[in-house]
Amino acid sequence: MSESYDVAILGAGPGGYVAALRAAQLGASVALVEKERVGGTCLNIGCIPTKALTTATNLLVEARRGADFGLVIPEARPDLPALMAYKQGTVDNLVGGVKRLLEERGVALVRGAGRLSAPDTLQVTDREGRAARVSARQVILAPGSVTARPPIPGLDLPGVMTSTEALTIADVPEHLIVVGGGVIGLEFASIYEALGSRVTILEMMPTLLPGLIGQRFAKRLAITLHRRGMTIQTGAAVRRIEAAGAGLRVVFEGRRGEEAVEGERVLIAVGRWPNTENLGLEEVGVEMDGRAVAVDERLQTSVPNVWAIGDAVGGPMFAHKAMVDGRVAAENALGGERTVDYRATPNVIFTRPEVAGVGLTQDEAREQGFVVKVTKFPFSATPKAQILGQTEGLIQLVCEEESGRVLGVHMMGPHVTDLIAEGALAVQMGLTADDLAWTTHAHPTLPEAMLEAALGFRDATIHITRKDRRLR
């Protein structure tokens, strides 16, 4: 069987399905090839189910604090089967919504594993082994990424999990060892800690969240997690995993030489790799950049009618980045002249407290030659944060000293994964601290901390005491 379209897209994750919807909006006939459920890793085994678990466990933590708000709440405890049903119901609702959008836009969903057999042809094999060809004038590659599997002996032992297995919680381990202090590892650490696990985090790099937030914020987060009872070992290179009675022993090289820690389960969360193997890329002349597909600023590959987006092209592996890539590639495949701009791509980490950032850290700005002024405001001086009883953290602006232009915004505290949107707009539009300071922010709300941080550029912060200044 062979069908021909204007645009064929390989992969129905956030980048792929958004590219399909945008191309269909522009009047193109579109085929979307996917071997699993639409929504890809993000909707099915990534962003959405983890945030559902994060939301539920945060509510559990808040319920246990009922007395702080003058409330009498009976003992709050997790109901794991109900929690799993809530998580899966959320996923199924969103996946169903994406399918309806594709159907309404007339996108043909082709089920099966696809690979390029020619620059204008995808060879698709379904689960029964039946083959079909999908031809198109333009092809967009959106294969996503796969869980990184480091060469650590013992990865196949019972009780060793990837993030996929960690989403299904039949019981709560007494002690969870997390290998990897990046986004995935820290978010699962927060989930399991809220459910009652003792958590140990082993990170090979000197700080948590390497390459994502500045060292100062990483150290603040580590201190906060440690106060909650988590054990954090940075500079810890895992050598092997061994069976230890009914549990597991993780052996690592630390600051004091070889050390070991024992627990019931081990989560391997060391990142993700572009999913570019066995796609026929080299055979049709698509140039690679290591594991990633090499693209230009328009997301065009070395083959003129082939485009690539999202995790497959490397860089930040965020669903929101992939969605923008999908729109850019779809428009360019149909004659547009869009270019990608990742300067204002926010990092959001759903730990407790949350962490978010966009643009340059102060160290990065100085390395690029900027003379900067850094201004901060603590949530402890923010009325809404006090009302919530969540006063840990702060908002930091990195500004060009002479002009006040906002180069970066970095946050730790309540709901900062939402608050970072204002920072992203400021970086994207080249706004100044004065622009933010003279924008009226509603009271009492958490964004007032952004207003006060912006006022600090002119040393005009209003709602702060000497004690609060020391906390900065």
How confident is the model over 183-233, as pLDDT tens digits? 999 999 999 999 999 999 999 999 999 877 877 888 889 999 999 999 999
Amino acid at position 144, single letter: G
- Pull the structure tokens for residue 251: 């052996």
Q: Per the domain annotation, does 343 fall within a domain?
A: no
> Over the chain, what is the mean pLDDT?
94
**Total tally of structural domains belonging to the chain:** 3
Cα angle: 310, vertex 311, 314; to 5 degrees: 105
Q: Which of 175, 320, 410, 443 is catalytic?
A: 443
Task: Say yes or no: 304 and 440 in one domain.
Answer: no
What local confidence, expressed as pLDDT, does residue 315 receive?
A: 83
Asked if the model's pLDDT at residue 1 lies above 70, the reply is no
- What is the number of alpha carbons within 13 Å of residue 221 lying toward its C-beta? 33
Q: How far is CA 374 from CA 32, 187, 260, 407, in A?
A: 46, 28, 40, 10
Cα angle: 368, vertex 338, 9; to 5 degrees: 115
Residue 466 banded pLDDT, cuts 50, 70, 90: low
Cα angle: 167, vertex 168, 169; to 5 degrees: 105
Closest CA to 350 of 51, 62, 129, 41: 51
Task: Say yes or no: 358 and 467 in one domain.
Answer: yes
174: number of Cβ within 10 Å: 12
Q: Per the domain annotation, does 177 fall within a domain?
A: yes
Closest CA to 408 of 447, 379, 376: 376
Q: What's the CATH code of the domain at 369? A: 3.30.390.30
- Pull the structure tokens for residue 92: 């199924």
Active site residue 443: yes
Q: Quickly tell me which residue has 């699962």 as its tokens.
A: 188
- Pull the structure tokens for residue 271: 């990142």
What local confidence, expressed as pLDDT, does residue 128 receive?
A: 87
258: number of Cβ within 10 Å: 9
CA 326/CA 143 separation, integer angstroms: 12
Distance of CA 417 to the CA centre of its chain: 11
Q: Are 175 and 181 in contact (CB under 8 A)?
A: no
Task: Say yes or no: 6 and 136 in one domain.
Answer: yes
Q: How far is CA 8 from CA 79, 108, 152, 231, 321, in A?
A: 44, 9, 38, 48, 20
Q: Choose the most confident range, by mean pLDDT, from 220-229, 250-259, 329-338, 460-469.
A: 329-338
Task: Say yes or no: 219 and 257 in one domain.
Answer: yes
CA 122/CA 372 separation, integer angstroms: 50
Q: Per the domain annotation, does 342 fall within a domain?
A: no
Q: Per the domain annotation, does 340 fall within a domain?
A: no
Query: Which residues sit opposite 378 in a β-bridge?
Result: 394
Q: Are 108 and 3 in contact (CB under 8 A)?
A: yes
**Hey, is 422 helix, strand or coil?**
helix
252: number of Cβ within 10 Å: 21
CA 256/CA 233 separation, integer angstroms: 11
Give the single-character DSSP code of 428. Answer: H
**Hey, is 8 helix, strand or coil?**
strand
Question: Using alpha carbons only, how large is the chain's radius of gyration in Å?
Answer: 24
Task: Say yes or no: 357 and 437 in one domain.
Answer: yes
Task: Say yes or no: 9 and 122 in one domain.
Answer: yes
Amino acid at position 274, single letter: P
**What is the average per-residue pLDDT within 113-135?**
93
The structure's pTM equals 0.93
**Residue at a domain's end among 270, 291, 311:** 270
Residue 367 banded pLDDT, cuts 50, 70, 90: very high
**Residue at a domain's end among 301, 333, 365:** 333
Task: Say yes or no: 92 and 204 in one domain.
Answer: no
Task: Say yes or no: 283 and 143 in one domain.
Answer: yes
Q: Per the domain annotation, does 67 fall within a domain?
A: yes
Task: Say yes or no: 252 and 279 in one domain.
Answer: no
In order, the DSSP letters of 261-329 are EEESEEEE---EEE--TTSSTGGGT--EETTEEP--TT-B-SSTTEEE-GGGG-S---HHHHHHHHHHH
The kind and range of the H/E element at 146 are strand 145-147
Give the single-character DSSP code of 141. Answer: E
pLDDT tens string 50-97: 999 999 999 999 999 999 999 999 889 999 999 999 999 999 999 999
Amino acid at position 409, single letter: V
Residue 148 banded pLDDT, cuts 50, 70, 90: confident
Q: Are 400 and 372 in contact (CB under 8 A)?
A: yes
Task: Tell which wins on pLDDT, 336 or 2.
Answer: 336
Q: Are 6 and 28 in contact (CB under 8 A)?
A: yes
277: number of Cβ within 10 Å: 10
Range(s) of the domain holding residue 457 = 353-471
What local confidence, expressed as pLDDT, does residue 99 receive?
A: 97
Q: What's the CATH code of the domain at 37? A: 3.50.50.60
Closest CA to 137 of 395, 334, 336: 334
**What is the average per-residue pLDDT within 284-290?**
95
What local confidence, expressed as pLDDT, does residue 216 receive?
A: 81
Residue 2 banded pLDDT, cuts 50, 70, 90: low
Task: Say yes or no: 257 and 282 in one domain.
Answer: no
Q: Per the domain annotation, does 348 fall within a domain?
A: no
Q: Per the domain annotation, does 212 fall within a domain?
A: yes
pLDDT tens string 424-454: 999 999 999 999 999 999 999 999 999 999 9
Task: Say which residues have a Cβ less than 8 Å from residue 71's Cβ, sequence separation at least 6.
Answer: none
What local confidence, expressed as pLDDT, does residue 468 receive?
A: 56
**What is the average per-residue pLDDT within 293-312?**
97
pLDDT tens string 389-423: 999 999 999 999 999 999 999 999 999 999 999 99
Task: Say yes or no: 165 and 132 in one domain.
Answer: no
Q: Per the domain annotation, does 302 fall within a domain?
A: yes
Task: Say yes or no: 115 and 100 in one domain.
Answer: yes
**What is the average per-residue pLDDT within 157-174?**
96
| Burial grade of 211 (CB within 10 A; 0-12, 13-18, 19 or more) | exposed
**Hey, is 363 helix, strand or coil?**
helix
**Residue at a domain's end among 218, 250, 270:** 270
